[in-house]
Chain A
Amino acid sequence: MLKKLGEHEITEKGAVIRMGDAKFPAPFTGGLEYASPARGTWNIVHTGMLIPEAHEIFVCAASCLRGVVLTAAEMNALDRFSTVEVKENNLLDGNLEELLIDGVSDIINKLEKRPPAVLVYTSCVHHFTGCDWGVMFGALKERFPDIDIIDCYMNPTLRKSGLTPDQTMRRQMYALLKPRTINKNAVAIIGNDLPTRENSDLYITLKNYGLKIHEITSCRTYAGYQEMAESSLYITYYPAAKAGGDALAKRLGGKHIYLPYSWDYDEITEALNILKYECAKTLDEGIEKNIDKIEECEKSFEKTLALIGETPIAIDYTFCPRPTSVAKQLLMHGFNVKRIYLDSFTGEEKKDYEYLKENYPDLELYATVDVKSRFMASSSREKLGATNISNSDNEKSASDKWLAIGQKAAYFLDTDYFVNIVEGGGMFGFEAITDTLELMRDAYENPKEMRKLVQIKGMGCGSCCIG
């Protein structure tokens, strides 16, 4: 039983499924959806703010504005953010185009400092009323020839129709780049919210080839952002960035390669070989020898297992793009992975899914948006007898201790022992394994203020977004 509400018992049925019984790619029946308080992943406001000096203007109804304006306020970026509110009369009068043009113009004219770029976000209502983007953005570009104006989209109703808003955002944020002479010694890592770790195999490989590495997270000025357009190679490793990488290479003339995030040794090796091949080809040099880091990974697995032992582990989909790959490797190395929190599998997870289904059929999948997910966290709290949740003094018995990898898993299990990383945390390659294992050892020994940390929106955005 998950909870007793009045006379009725709420069970977990429907919100949890054995891996052996799970269907691909949708293990759960869809329906009404719950939103947990774990909010560390980035949204389109955070991502847009990565373009240095750009100003964001959202044009939508009050209920939609509410979330984005407070996102901007929480990241202390209201000075780079404005809104135009769509009201009922605009829908009735059919003057949404006029409202957008006049509203955006009014805001730009009021700004103390002229921004080099303006991101104008339209919403579902513009789509459903058949607004003419050519008219709206054509007029704005005519009025403000000195400003780069780009169309961005907050249209969650269309999230299952073609590219998702997240994918579209990761495409549009590079659409402002203007063609320039390609420099064969320059590459760009595209589409990440968080900077690629400098100790990652990806970064080290590029450095070893002597390449100049562009990444939006390190751009400090709009002019610096524009320099990304000199790249001969565009690299993506975050799945939602793939479409943006394709569009960019097609428009600017470089080459795009997508290297999937994985914990599988063969896949990592293959991805790094592709990277080396492309670097060598670009520079007309030989292919750098593979550095075998598998032994290093194995040692790290051993060290971590010795510390963590049989402690139950749960992983969630916000930790990285491929939680099933992480689960597979941990299980293969003897870790007690009990749960994965996810609502669907991605296409890239097919092989991991098949392996886990066959070899670990009792692994449990927990939904995060199911109506019953609402009661999972409070049920965990009650089982643990915690009255003051996430208080550092709140000691839980060893038998109740879970190690969570990701914020949602930590929230649902009410554990302060968790790896606080979202969206892969800029990790890629063998280092993604060794760095995560190190974070797991740290998380096992050092509890964090889970309640406080997981509710912060856009983890790490404060240090990435430059005004």
Chain B
Amino acid sequence: MKQTSGFISTYSADAFGVCSALYELGGMIVMHDASGCNSTYTTHDEPRWYDMDSMVYISALTEIEAIMGDDSKLIEDVVRAAEELHPKFIAIVGTTIPAMTGFDADAASRVIEERTGIPTFGFATTGMKSYVHGASLAFETLANIIVNQNRKDNVAESTMPKINILGLTPLDFSVNGSDKSIKEYYRSKGYEIISTWAMGSTLDEIKKSADADLNIVVSETGMGVALKLKEKFGTPYKIGISLAGEEIDVTDEYQESINEHNLIDFFEGKINNVSDKENKAYNEDNPEILIMGERVNSLSLAKYLSNKTGKKCYGYATTDSDEDEIIDTIKSLDNLQVIIADPLFKPILKLIDKSKAQKIKFISLPHEAFSGRLYRNEIPNLVENTNMLLELL
């Protein structure tokens, strides 16, 4: 495998996933990096950057600090900034060069926490995995450290079933109102929402997550924390997003699509992806419609469109696939008529047989985690309305 992308974009990276997941919670997030990570994340992957105050920074790592393994500058700079900004927590986020030099994010975090008295977490991200991994790590850390460890049973003030919504970040849902629509949907069904991880919730709301009766996982970034909350509090979870007012439950399809053992390894950072199993996603035999993108969204849309159109659909998780794998998958689908994917996937059609490519209709469904801000205004709120897709099919 040459790990090449001759023609397509690349998914947002793990470090940015951490930042996106923690953005709204009042913490100070420091990417231990020289320069580029901050501008890349804030320019392309963070639609809240202009309007919503936050404390996302880089350490401005230099060659000499990297070579000498000098973590003291990072620690001093973080402590000084924390003393002035008073964040609710501090996150130290690894990137590629610290990963190479063996930077110990946990150890640095412990020193910083001791000196500032502010809860501090280290993330051993490497800049070499996808945002799914980073956001998962961030959410799992919140579950371990921030969430109140005592579940409040039989809360008298409400008889409504209580839920958390897990895996909400602009990388998968942009800022087009999808997050609010998801909440509205569940409220309309009689649920009380304890927290949304992590758009539209405060850190205090997140802390109460153990009180929920059910967790709803709306993207793969929420899977790690769902498993964690199940392990700690026994809270069951459902996977899937609601589309045009219909709840799509893909819990079985998700679990069929991956290996449970792999999943745990993945969220613990031991393996890079969970797409090793041949049947990667909701994969009907000989599908006519291929939906590429984030796993839970793709599976949900595949199931929804299959119900609506009667056509065979395949939800394909591409967040950890490279160009060659994707091309091979497309080539292997003999009856393929439609691809629904981010517009930056379209050039890939150049790499398959011309006669086959001509028969495939490409429907653009922009995904912030792939094309960044480029098509942000065109990202539809499918939770609210799917007509734009149905009309094109």
Contacts and interface: CB of A to CB of B under 8 A. Distances in A.
Interface in A51-93: 60-67, 69-70, 73-74, 78-79, 82-88, 90-91
Contacts of B350: 112
A69 B54 CA distance: 26
A124 B60 contact: no
A378 B55 CA distance: 13
B88 to A, nearest CB: 8
A128 B100 contact: yes
B128 A61 contact: yes
Given A62-B10, A157-B34, A378 B39 contact: no
A34 B38 contact: yes
A443 interface: no
Given A32-B57, A371-B84, A128 B97 contact: yes
A378 B54 CA distance: 11
B367 to A, nearest CB: 13
A34 B351 CA distance: 40
Contacts of A37: 42-43, 49-50
Interface in A143-171: 154, 156-161
Nearest to A111: B6
Given A32-B59, A107-B6, A124-B34, A64 B127 contact: yes
B356 interface: no
B44 A87 contact: no
Interface stretch (B73-81, B294-302, B382-390): B73-81
Interface in B275-299: none
A66 B84 contact: no
B85 A157 contact: no
Contacts of A111: 6
B352 to A, nearest CB: 12
A63 B344 contact: no
Interface in A77-135: 78-79, 82-88, 90-91, 99, 102-103, 106-107, 110-112, 123-125, 128-129
A64 B58 contact: no
B322 interface: yes
B141 to A, nearest CB: 19
A40 B171 CA distance: 24
A66 B55 CA distance: 21
B128 A32 contact: no
Interface in B77-126: 77-78, 80-81, 84-86, 95-97, 99-101, 126
Given A5-B86, A88-B128, A35 B80 contact: no
A31 interface: yes
Given A62-B10, A112-B350, A378 B84 contact: no
Interface stretch (B11-19, B186-194, B242-250): B11-19
B30 interface: yes
B40 A156 contact: no
A401 interface: no
A14 interface: yes
Contacts of A73: 9, 344, 371-372, 374
A8 B80 CA distance: 15
Contact of B44 (A5, A67, A102, A157): A67
Nearest to B46: A37
Contact of B127 (A62, A74, A78): A62
Given A31-B80, A160-B62, A63 B39 contact: no
B85 A5 contact: yes
Nearest to A377: B50
Nearest to A88: B128
Nearest to A102: B2
Contacts of A309: none
A31 B81 contact: yes
Contact of B55 (A8, A30, A157, A371): A371
A149 to B, nearest CB: 16
A306 interface: no
B53 A378 contact: yes
A296 interface: no
B66 interface: yes
B4 interface: yes
Chain A contact patch, size range: 35 or more
A457 B40 CA distance: 11
Given A62-B128, A87-B3, A374-B54, A157 B11 contact: no
Contacts of B216: none
A63 B128 contact: yes
A125 B99 CA distance: 10
B64 interface: yes
Contact of A32 (B15, B60, B272): B60
B2 A84 contact: yes
Contacts of A83: 4-5, 10
Select the residue from B38, B50, B347 with max chain A CB neighbours within 10 A. Answer: B50
A61 B127 contact: yes
A5 B87 CA distance: 9
B338 interface: no
A35 B46 CA distance: 12
Contacts of B59: 32-33
B30 A66 contact: no
A67 B130 CA distance: 14
Interface string A4-17: 01111010001000
Contacts of B84: 10, 14, 371-372
A311 to B, nearest CB: 25
Contacts of B6: 82, 106-107, 110-111
Contact of A35 (B15, B42, B126, B130): B42
Select the residue from B30, B77, B97, B99 with max chain A CB neighbours within 10 A. Answer: B97
A205 to B, nearest CB: 38
Nearest to A165: B35
Contact of B126 (A61, A107, A124): A61
B344 A78 contact: yes
A338 interface: no
A158 to B, nearest CB: 5
Contacts of A197: none
A377 to B, nearest CB: 8
B258 interface: no
B36 interface: yes
B63 interface: yes
A104 to B, nearest CB: 8
B16 A66 contact: yes
Given A106-B6, A389-B50, 7 more contacts: A37-B42, A61-B127, A67-B44, A69-B5, A78-B347, A85-B10, A124-B97
10 contacts: A7-B86, A33-B58, A34-B38, A35-B38, A63-B37, A63-B127, A65-B10, A69-B9, A70-B372, A124-B34
Top 7 A-B residue pairs of the complex, sorted by shortest distance between their CB atoms: A67-B40, A63-B127, A63-B13, A156-B35, A156-B34, A32-B57, A157-B34
